[in-house]
Structure formats: C-alpha cells, structure tokens
Structure 1
Amino acid sequence: MINTLKRILTDKTFFITLILSILSLCFGQVKSTDIDFKTIMSLSSLLIIIAIYQDLGILKFIANYIVSKCHSTRLVFLVLLLCSFFGSMLFTNDVAILTLIPIFFNISKRIPFPKIFAISLLTIYANLGSSFTPFGNPQNIYIVSFYKLSVIDFLGMSIPFGLISLITLLFSVLFIKNKQ
C-alpha cells in the first residue's frame, strides 16, 4: 500500500493530469454534472480487477505462456496485436488495452521490444478491432441503435474496413526485429 502511494505521488503524468483537471473545472466550461461517474466507476473496477490479476500472477502466467508458444519476437508481437484486435471486437477496446498492456510489460521484461511503438500499435489495433463489431465500442452501439441497423447490416459495412485494418496489422509486424 505504501509503495503504491509513493508511486502515485511520484508519477508526473498523474500530477499533470490532476492539475489540468482542476484548472479545467475551475476556469473552463466544465461542470461537475458533466462527469459520468458510472463510466469512471466501471473503468476503476476494471483497473482493480487487472491489478488483482497482476498480483495473483495470472497476467505473468499468460505472458509466459505466449512467450513459450512463440518461436520469435515477431510472432510474440503478432499474437499480442491479434489479441488486441480480436479481443476488442468482443470485449471493447478499453478492456483489451487495459488487459494487454500489463501482459505486454511482463513480456517486455524477457524480450526487448520498442515500448512506445508496441503500446501505440496495441492501442491502435484495439480501436480498429472494436470498430468492426456493433458492440465493440459505445459509438457503434449508438449507430446501430439510432439507424436501426441489424448486426448483419453493420458487419456488411464494416467488413472492408476490418479487412484493411487486419492487413495493416499483419504488415506492421514486419517493423519488429525478428529474433529467436
């Protein structure tokens, strides 16, 4: 608990975000009623569950399993990107990102990856994957509801976009050095 508090107090990103949030609340047009506490509580719960999985060693186990089954760094990265892409189709982009980033960090302790590049691609492909299905992100749920689209109609429109995204995903793996 004390280590966690020390980490929070020394986190520069946290403090910058906190200061900007306070400034926007004080001087901006933002009202406290604009804050969606249900969403904040849902994401907080998700973060707590991920932290529990991390403490229990489940994420480390998954990371070790991925590394043990893949014979090269490029294949490990491909598996992570595919999990991000397809996982976000089923579980939303937030869940995919918040779950895979800790797994990535566990893997990166064993395999040197360019961290910013890898995290950026995991995030990009989670967002692209979530846009493929009607339930992958809230915007799609709204679109399906507002335009009264069936799942088949929505998928019919999103398949070309999804296939292009998948092709770029497969191509982006080539930028990772292929080591055994």
Structure 2
Amino acid sequence: MMWLPPSLRALRRDVFFLVLLAVSIALAIALPSRVAGWPSLVDWPTIAALTGLLILTKGVESSGALDMAGRWLIDRTPTRRVAAIGLVAATAVLSMLLTNDVSLFVMVPLTLSMCRIARMPATRLVVFEALAVNAGSMLTPIGNPQNLFLWQQWNNGFGGFVWAMLPLVAIALALLLALTALAFPATPLEVHERGGESVDRMMLGVAALLYVPFIVLADLQYVGWGLLGVVAVFLALRRRVVASIDWGLLLTFVLMFIDLRMLAGLEAVRSFVAGLGLEHAVHLYVTGALASQVVSNVPAAILLAEYSHDWRTIAFGVNVGGFGFVLGSLANLIALRLLGERKAWGTFHVWSVPFFVVIGLLGWALL
C-alpha cells in the first residue's frame, strides 16, 4: 500500500468514499447483470477535465506563485471582512464565466495560500466560496453542467437564459455577501509568515501556457487529447506534480457517477418521480431541489427533463438544490476535497443547509 499516492491511501479513512463504495457493492449484489455497463455511466470527459485541471492547478501551486499572489493581496486588503467579501465575490463572478469547478480550482488554492500567510479561517472561507460558485454559476448557461444541459436541451438562447435566472441569482448573491460580512470580523490582516518569495518560473510558465489550450480543447469536446498533452508535458518536466494530485478525488467522482446514475435509473425511482404531479410548477421546483440533495443536481436535471418541458422551473429547482447537503452539487465536493479538512464537512452543512432553506423559499416566491 505504501507505493500508492497519499490521496489514495487516505481513502481508507474517508467516510464519504466508503459510503459510496458500500453503495456500489450493494448495487453490484442486487443487480449483477448491470455491472458490465458501469463504465458507460461514468462521464469520462468530466473525469478527464478534472484530471487536467488538478494537474495544472497543482503545477501553479507548487511553483510558489500563489504564495506571492497571496502576500500581494494581503498587503492591499485592510481587514479580514474585506478580504473575505472580495474573495467570495470574485469566486462568484468567475463561476459565471469559467464554470463552477474551474473557479474553485483557481480560487481555493489562492485562498489557502492567503489563509496560511495571514491565519484567516480557511475552512469557513472555502465553505463560503463553495456557496459562491453555486450562486454565481446559476446565472449563465455555461456556469455549471446542469445549466449547459438545459440550455442545449431547449435551445432557449443565452440571453434568455440569463434573464430568466437573474432575479434568483441577484437575491442569492446579495444574501451571500451580507452573510459573508457578518461571518468574518473587521479585524486587520496580519502577515504571520515571511520569506519564501521564490517562484519556480518554469513550472508556472508551463502551467500557464497549457491552461488556455486545455480549456479550449475541453470546450471543443477534445478533452482526452488535451489531457494527454498535459500529462505528457508534466511527466517529462515535473512528474512529481502528476503523482501528487488528488487521485482519491477522481476515484470518488467515478463512484459518484456510477452510484447516482444507477439509483436515478431504477424503475422504482422513476415510477415515484412520475407520480409527483410534475405538471404543477411548485411540485416540479420542490422535486428538483430535494432530488438534488440525494442524487446531485446534474442527474436531477436530466431526470426531470423527461417529465416536464418547463426548463425555467427545472433550472430554479436544481440550481437551488446545489446548496444544502454536500451531494447537492459536485462543486461542493471539489471545494471540500481541495480544502482537505475533515471538520469542513460539518462546517459546510452548518452554513449551507440554512442557506438552502432560505434560498429555496425565495425561489418558490419568485415562481
């Protein structure tokens, strides 16, 4: 076992992974004939995109550039409250343009670097950034996978989609920024870590040069070739970067796709959903929000699209469903895994579940 990367060895103590593994075993025993089809349930382009982003982000992090950027920001930020509001707002805006997972890969390592230097509460700040990507990514069709699916499914126009989601997003972001101001004190930032200003310019340059082509290839549906190029370059120049990424996160995602899509495809589940009266907007909205808590919002959107053509209500429900429990959105899992703190799971739910309830009621009122 010692030859395995640390992230895979740590899975033995990862309760969430062990639960997913137990569900997979139970499904294999109950439905052995479907095991052969499990690979087709995994969204391999998503896994490839995550792998490439993990490698590129780890390259930037290992270069030392984030530490330098963190010190630069700290020198120009007067208080923890201002720093928190700025980071949360920037994360939300990035998620509208770069998708929620890419925004986290950019902002969480930078945030962790700042928190290490200035001793800010990293756990709470990353939790708020997870809420921020869920709130900000609701606005645009390219902000998250469920929006992209709904946008392509009904061809409702980029501007039309944004206009439909704008009221909900405005309320969610206003509430989140107000909550951020209350959650972080207006105490001055103090630098508690000095030195370490050197930057591995070659590693930073390689990661920066590969980032845009990789995103473009992923957007053009050639993510496999993009990943091959990234892996080849880093194996040739900095193979330790490839070995040090969070392989456990990737394996966890594979199990999530298998478990959640198997459960969503069960006849009992589909019959239950069909009897929920989804022709009524309120029923459709509530089902989308609550189903997301169990199977995540992307499978929930795909499932509900088979029962209703009310894309706006589906979008409201599954996007609101990204809050609440960690399973509501894959972005939640990415944020917590990048943070790497066990206590963060409890902290996340302390903030996210009440936020889900409040935004859920406000979304219902907007309908």
Give the Cα–Cα distance (whole angstroms) in 2 for the partners of residues 144 and 92 of structure 1: 14
Does 2:5 match 1:5?
A: yes
Give the Cα–Cα distance (whole angstroms) in 1 for the partners of residues 53 and 144 of structure 2: 16
Does 2:79 match 1:72?
A: yes
Matched residue SS, 2:117: coil
The 5 A counterparts of 1:1-180 are: 5-6=5-6, 8-10=8-10, 15-28=14-27, 31-174=38-181, 175-180=183-188
- Cα deviation, 1:84-143, whole Å, max 9, x if unaligned, reads 100000111101112211111111112233333222110011111011111111111122
1:169 deviates by: 2.6
Structure 1 pair 32/24, CA: closer, same or farther in 2 (3 Å)?
farther
1:74 deviates by: 0.9
Q: Are the counterparts in 2 of residues 129 and 136 from structure 1 also a CA contact under 8 Å?
A: yes
Structure 1 pair 151/21, CA: closer, same or farther in 2 (3 Å)?
same
1:24 deviates by: 3.2
1:47 deviates by: 0.7
Amino acid at match of 1:68: D
Give the Cα–Cα distance (whole angstroms) in 1 for the partners of residues 95 and 118 of structure 2: 24
Name stretches of at least 5 consecutive residues in structure 2 with no aligned partner. Answer: 189-367
Q: How many correspondences in the alignment?
A: 178
Q: Are the counterparts in 2 of residues 25 and 32 from structure 1 also a CA contact under 8 Å?
A: no
- Higher radius of gyration, 1 or 2: 2
1:8 deviates by: 4.7
1:159 deviates by: 1.3
Amino acid at match of 2:110: I
Q: Are the counterparts in 2 of residues 134 and 141 from structure 1 also a CA contact under 8 Å?
A: yes
Give the Cα–Cα distance (whole angstroms) in 2 for the partners of residues 12 and 65 of structure 1: 39
CA RMSD, Structure 1 to Structure 2 (Å): 2.4
Amino acid at match of 1:5: P
- Which stretch shifts more, 122-131 or 20-29? 20-29
Q: Are the counterparts in 2 of residues 73 and 111 from structure 1 also a CA contact under 8 Å?
A: no
- Which stretch shifts more, 155-164 or 15-24? 15-24
Amino acid at match of 1:177: P
Give the Cα–Cα distance (whole angstroms) in 2 for the partners of residues 18 and 126 of structure 1: 23
- Cα deviation, 1:154-176, whole Å, max 9, x if unaligned, reads 11111111211221132022220
Q: Which residue in 1 is equivalent to 2:239?
A: none
- Cα deviation, 1:9-42, whole Å, max 9, x if unaligned, reads 34665x4455444433332156233122221111
Structure 1 stretches of at least 4 aligned residues deviating more than 6 Å after TM superposition = none
Give the Cα–Cα distance (whole angstroms) in 1 for the partners of residues 89 and 155 of structure 2: 30
Give the Cα–Cα distance (whole angstroms) in 2 for the partners of residues 62 and 41 of structure 1: 28
Name stretches of at least 5 consecutive residues in structure 1 with no aligned partner. Answer: none
Amino acid at match of 1:178: A
Structure 1 pair 12/109, CA: closer, same or farther in 2 (3 Å)?
farther
Structure 1 pair 57/118, CA: closer, same or farther in 2 (3 Å)?
same
Matched residue SS, 2:139: coil
Amino acid at match of 2:61: Q
Amino acid at match of 2:140: T
Give the Cα–Cα distance (whole angstroms) in 1 for the partners of residues 8 and 146 of structure 2: 32
Give the Cα–Cα distance (whole angstroms) in 2 for the partners of residues 77 and 87 of structure 1: 15
When the two structures are superposed, what TM-score results if normalisation uses the length of structure 1? 0.86
